[in-house]
């Protein structure tokens, strides 16, 4: 590790995980949120950094919208989601006066804010920092990877939906990871199938199998398929804790196995 | 908020290139020279080039994966069903181009001619342009920062030889950043008829779409209306409806009422749409009688009517 990593706000952050996808709306923020909740249930302290500057979703998904970020001596104090302060959160959403305001910024300004987010947030002791990103392979991604490089991120979770149109974009994201020297922890397939609540017929709304095929093709681990579950969507809309409230949901085992993978990967890296 | 980071003074300002935060910015020298303040000569060139294009429509959404490209593709398919209508589809999603796959044009190449780049023609009256046609392999990632993306968009608008076109449809990436600003700025002199905004019913998507609407108002881009995609799901077995993405805050309908903009229609979530897109075929031809196809046609008609009534050359821009 470089000398810079020994000091500053990131010094006591153990593991950094990026959640990426070339495609928008595939569930990066959903997976980030659920991963953070699952890690919390495993007794970890988790931070979420939302670097999606034009479309921050995390505050709403954790029912933290409208909260404000405060300043302290060592920088910005993140927003704590719960009383135990086991999940802390930083997002551009907290810096907007009006939630409907558009952040109409070009690259350089976005890069500057991301650097500030990485350097100037007083996370304190964290076991995991989950970094939720916008879709694509552009400014935000390069800025984030560059800023985090001194702290040795654990790797990236790559999210896709099953259809070929999405998998096509995600293939490009895997190329980005390779070029950026970011280890791919695995591919997650989201919105895999929908079980009709009336007749229990499972429909593959967005086709099937694309995520697994992609992981196979690219030689990276496949972490599981998360089915479409209206309860999951609803729970995110209302900012509730899905993992605690719906252990019987078909989406539950997939989310848990992703968290498990992250938990087992982390100690391996410490050796 | 505009002060965070205490950064870029703006390319057009008197401080351009001179602020403390300009140190190390790749554009510092350009800004300091004052070149940023002068209008880009390309804007006039684009206006000249696009004189042969009657209507220009932007397809926008703050949120990703809500169906911008699917809608753009089907708007193009639908308009081009009339042989006498010339349609052009431009994909400015530089990092995640989906249009080539959806139109069954993967692996096609762009050709050079004396008058610029020739679009890839799917039909005689349907030309397509995308960064996807310029990539060597489907694994190639376009890892570009803003200025390079802007340059590409400028080239797409200025150097593509569209010929006589009735409708130019511009499919955009999610967000309110470089690509959007560039498209709007480069097309400022050529005039955009308006933007169709796509959303899904849930609040997590609507909150981003409200930002997109505030973007349209900031840059004075007329809004044709909102399309709610993935509205309800009809089980192919029992034909009963479910809401996969529940409209917990009233969906697009409520948002349109609140913001006083038209709702163009709601497209149900039909697994066939995704399948058609994966195969690169028109869903409107694959399943012409399905509720989703009917919804698409209704929306396309409303957009045609909007463009018919709206004569961008004479009318002043509607104030927001």
The DSSP string of A119-186 is HHB---SEEEEEEE--SSSSHHHHHHHHHHGGG---EEEEEE-SSHHHHHHHHHHHHHHHHHT--EEE
- B266 near A CB under 8 A: no
Q: How far is B308 from chain A (nearest CA, A)?
A: 30
Q: Residue B161 gets which letter from DSSP?
A: -
Q: How many Å apart are CA B255 and CA B266, to the nearest integer? A: 13
- Find which of A196, A220, A235, A238 to mutate to test the B interface (most B CBs within 10 Å of its CB): A196
Which residues face A235 on adjacent strands? none
% of chain B beyond a pLDDT of 90: 78
Q: Which CATH superfamily is domain B40-309 in?
A: P-loop containing nucleotide triphosphate hydrolases (3.40.50.300)
Q: Which of A54, A105, A199 sits opposite B238 (nearest CB)?
A: A199
Q: How far is A80 from chain B (nearest CA, A)?
A: 20
pLDDT at B29: 79
pLDDT beyond 60 at A39? yes
Nearest CA in chain A to B99: A165
Do the domain assignments include residue A3?
no
Across chain A, what does the average pLDDT equal?
Answer: 91
| CATH, residue A88 | 3.40.50.300
What pLDDT, in 10s, does the model give residues A209-250? 999 999 999 999 999 999 999 889 989 999 999 988 998 888
How many domains does the structure of chain A reveal? Answer: 1
Verify whether the Cβ–Cβ distance A179 to B141 is below 8 Å.
yes
CB B246 within 8 A of CB B202: yes
Q: Range of A99's domain?
A: 9-270
CA B124 to mean position of chain CA atoms = 22
Q: Smallest Cα–Cα separation from B182: which of A142, A104, A134?
A: A104
% of chain A beyond a pLDDT of 70: 96
For residue B68, say whether it is annotated as part of any ligand binding site: yes
Q: How many Å apart are CA B190 and CA B192, to the nearest integer? A: 7
CB A186 within 8 A of CB A222: yes
What pLDDT, in 10s, does the model give residues B252-301? 999 999 999 999 999 999 999 999 999 999 999 999 999 999 999 999 99
With 0-12 CB in 10 A as exposed, 13-18 as middle and 19+ as buried, what is A219?
A: exposed
Q: Any residues with CB less than 8 A from the CB of A45 and at least 6 apart, and which?
A: A85, A86, A125, A126, A127, A128
The residue-averaged pLDDT of A81-103 equals 93
Q: How far is B143 from chain A (nearest CA, A)?
A: 5
What pLDDT, in 10s, does the model give residues B201-259? 999 999 999 999 999 999 999 999 999 999 999 888 898 999 999 999 999 999 999 99
- B107 near A CB under 8 A: no
Q: How confident is the model at residue A1 (pLDDT cuts 50, 70, 90)?
A: very low
Do the domain assignments include residue A53?
yes
pLDDT beyond 70 at B142? yes
Other beta carbons within 10 Å of A181:
9
Q: How confident is the model at residue B102 (pLDDT cuts 50, 70, 90)?
A: very high
pLDDT beyond 70 at B72? yes
Q: Taking CB atoms and an 8 Å cutoff, what residues of chain B touch A117?
A: none
Place of tokens 């044009």: B105
pLDDT at B126: 97
The DSSP string of A33-84 is HHHHHHHHHTT--EEEEE--SSS--HHHHTT-TT---EEETTEEEPEESSTT
Verify whether the Cβ–Cβ distance A172 to B140 is below 8 Å.
yes
Q: Residue B81 gets which letter from DSSP?
A: T
Radius of gyration (Cα) for chain A, nearest Å?
18
pLDDT beyond 70 at A135? yes
Domain ranges of chain B: 1-38, 40-309
Q: Taking CB atoms and an 8 Å cutoff, what residues of chain B touch A238?
A: 248
Q: How many Å apart are CA A116 and CA A121, to the nearest integer? A: 8
The residue-averaged pLDDT of B175-201 equals 95
Verify whether the Cβ–Cβ distance B212 to A134 is below 8 Å.
no
Q: Taking CB atoms and an 8 Å cutoff, what residues of chain A touch B173?
A: 24, 135-136
Nearest CA in chain A to B62: A55
pLDDT at B26: 75
Do the domain assignments include residue A61?
yes
pLDDT at A10: 92
Q: Could you tell me if residue B61 is left (phi over 0), alpha (psi between -120 and 50 degrees) or otherwise beta?
A: beta
Q: Which of A93-107, B18-32, B137-151, B214-228 has the lowest mean pLDDT?
A: B18-32
What pLDDT, in 10s, does the model give residues A42-87? 999 999 999 999 999 999 999 999 999 999 998 999 999 999 999 9
Q: Which of B2-16, B82-96, B158-172 has the lowest mean pLDDT?
A: B2-16
Phi, psi of A199 (to 5 degrees): -125, 5
Q: Which of A177-186, B12-21, B141-150 has the lowest mean pLDDT?
A: B12-21
Across chain B, what does the average pLDDT equal?
Answer: 90
For residue A28, say whether it is annotated as part of any ligand binding site: yes
Verify whether the Cβ–Cβ distance A237 to B174 is below 8 Å.
no
The residue-averaged pLDDT of A176-202 equals 92
The residue-averaged pLDDT of A171-189 equals 95
Do the domain assignments include residue A2?
no
Q: Taking CB atoms and an 8 Å cutoff, what residues of chain B touch A136?
A: 95-96, 173
Q: Taking CB atoms and an 8 Å cutoff, what residues of chain B touch A232?
A: none
């Amino acid at each position: 590790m470089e000398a810079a990593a020994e000091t500053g706000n990131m010094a006591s952050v153990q593991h950094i995980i990026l959640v990426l996808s070339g495609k928008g709306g595939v569930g990066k923020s959903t997976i980030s949120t659920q991963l953070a909740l699952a890690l919390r249930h495993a007794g970890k302290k988790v931070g979420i950094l939302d670097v999606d500057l034009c479309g921050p979703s995390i505050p709403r998904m954790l029912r933290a919208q409208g909260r404000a970020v405060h300043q302290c001596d060592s920088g910005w104090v993140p927003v704590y989601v719960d009383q135990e302060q086991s999940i802390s959160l930083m997002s551009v959403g907290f810096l907007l006066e009006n939630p409907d305001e558009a952040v109409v910024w070009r690259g350089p300004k976005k890069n500057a804010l991301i650097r500030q987010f990485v350097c100037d947030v007083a996370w304190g002791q964290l076991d995991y920092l989950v970094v939720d990103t916008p879709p694509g392979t552009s400014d935000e991604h390069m800025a984030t990877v560059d800023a985090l490089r001194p702290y040795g991120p654990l790797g990236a979770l790559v999210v896709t939906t099953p259809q070929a149109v999405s998998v096509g974009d995600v293939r490009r994201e895997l190329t980005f990871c390779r070029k950026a020297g970011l280890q791919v922890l695995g591919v997650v397939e989201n919105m895999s199938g929908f079980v009709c609540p009336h007749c229990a017929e499972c429909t593959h709304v967005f086709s099937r199998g694309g995520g697994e095929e992609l992981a196979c093709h690219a030689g990276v681990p496949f972490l599981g398929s998360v089915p479409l579950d209206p309860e999951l969507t609803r729970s995110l809309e209302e900012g509730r804790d899905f993992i605690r409230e719906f252990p019987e949901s078909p989406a539950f085992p997939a989310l848990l196995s992703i968290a498990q993978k992250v938990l087992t990967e982390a100690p391996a890296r410490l050796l | 908020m505009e002060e965070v980071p205490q950064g870029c003074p703006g390319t057009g300002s008197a401080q351009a290139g001179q602020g403390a935060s300009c140190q190390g910015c790749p554009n510092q020298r350009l800004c300091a020279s004052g070149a940023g303040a002068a209008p880009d000569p390309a804007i006039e060139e684009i206006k000249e080039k696009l004189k042969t294009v009657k209507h220009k429509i932007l397809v926008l959404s703050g949120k990703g994966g809500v169906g911008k490209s699917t809608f753009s593709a089907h708007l193009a398919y639908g308009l081009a069903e009339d042989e006498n209508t010339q349609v052009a589809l431009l994909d400015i999603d530089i990092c995640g181009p989906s249009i080539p796959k959806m139109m069954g044009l993967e692996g096609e190449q762009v050709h050079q001619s004396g008058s610029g780049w020739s679009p890839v023609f799917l039909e005689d009256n349907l030309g397509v342009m995308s960064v996807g046609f310029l990539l060597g392999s489907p694994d190639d990632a376009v890892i570009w920062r803003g200025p390079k993306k802007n340059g590409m968009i400028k080239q797409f608008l200025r150097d593509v030889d569209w010929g006589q076109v009735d409708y130019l449809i511009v499919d955009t990436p999610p967000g309110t950043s470089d690509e959007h600003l560039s498209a709007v700025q480069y097309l400022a002199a050529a005039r955009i008829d308006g933007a169709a905004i796509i959303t899904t019913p849930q609040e997590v998507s609507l909150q981003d779409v409200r930002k997109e609407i505030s973007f349209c108002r900031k840059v004075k881009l007329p809004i044709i209306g909102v399309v709610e995609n993935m509205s309800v799901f009809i089980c192919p077995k029992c034909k009963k409806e479910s809401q996969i993405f529940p409209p917990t805050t009233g969906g697009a309908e409520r948002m349109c009422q609140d913001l006083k903009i038209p709702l163009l229609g709601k497209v149900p979530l039909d697994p066939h749409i995704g399948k058609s897109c994966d195969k690169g075929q028109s869903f409107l031809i694959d399943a012409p009688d399905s509720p989703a196809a009917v919804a698409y046609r209704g929306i396309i008609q409303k957009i045609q009517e909007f463009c018919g009534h709206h004569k961008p050359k004479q009318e002043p821009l509607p104030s927001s």
